[in-house]
Structure 1
């Protein structure tokens, strides 16, 4: 079972989840699962189609925004920002370790005008370091 880490009152991040974790997510009020892991990235990976099927069966929406070694793009940030704005409840993002999900969340929230310092502190409290994307967070927040 994965350990969900709270980034905000409406966002959780997690390492790779399994089909069994979907039930735990539902119990915690998750309304949307966001898969940030490209298919076939590792042998430890539950296929996204299996997570999606379990999520939809449980009444949880599912979205794929795969983040590769190439990094983050504006369309990925915009896609998560829109999903966060539309989510009617808690969102769970996952990848191999939870780091890419956290970084994408921080970028998306900064693009929506949240304070980068507050986002960085929340990520650190959950055990994640957003310093690799902090300059981008600052730039996105400054546009608001």
Structure 2
């Protein structure tokens, strides 16, 4: 039995271990957050990253409106945070109240204990299939000196230990 191309791609890509991050932005005083693993660097000069966001998600509307957003690269201790912020239908109000965090210099939420954090400003958006590829310049970045990453592999969160 052969799989449809999208199902086959989903299965194939689940074999690619990826890091997990939380992406945040603020619109009209409301914080928006989502768990993502479709995030990567693009260029060092200038410092660019990209994020893929579903077209039909509320976060896509928020990040497109705000243009400034934060990225927190998750440590293995953030497994419950990653699960919570990837839960469909969770309320916008208070979604970060149980997540230890602080604000970066640009005002975006950054998670406490993250392996790395970045504050970004969108420079381009490209629609590709059912997603938007958001390209942004990194305006500030920081990292921890230790910790183990949270990894997404075979559709589950795991660690490298």
- The alignment's TM-score, normalised by the length of structure 1, stands at 0.24
TM-score by length of 2: 0.22
Larger Rg: 2
Structure in which a larger fraction of residues adopt strand: 2
Structure showing the higher helix proportion among its residues: 1
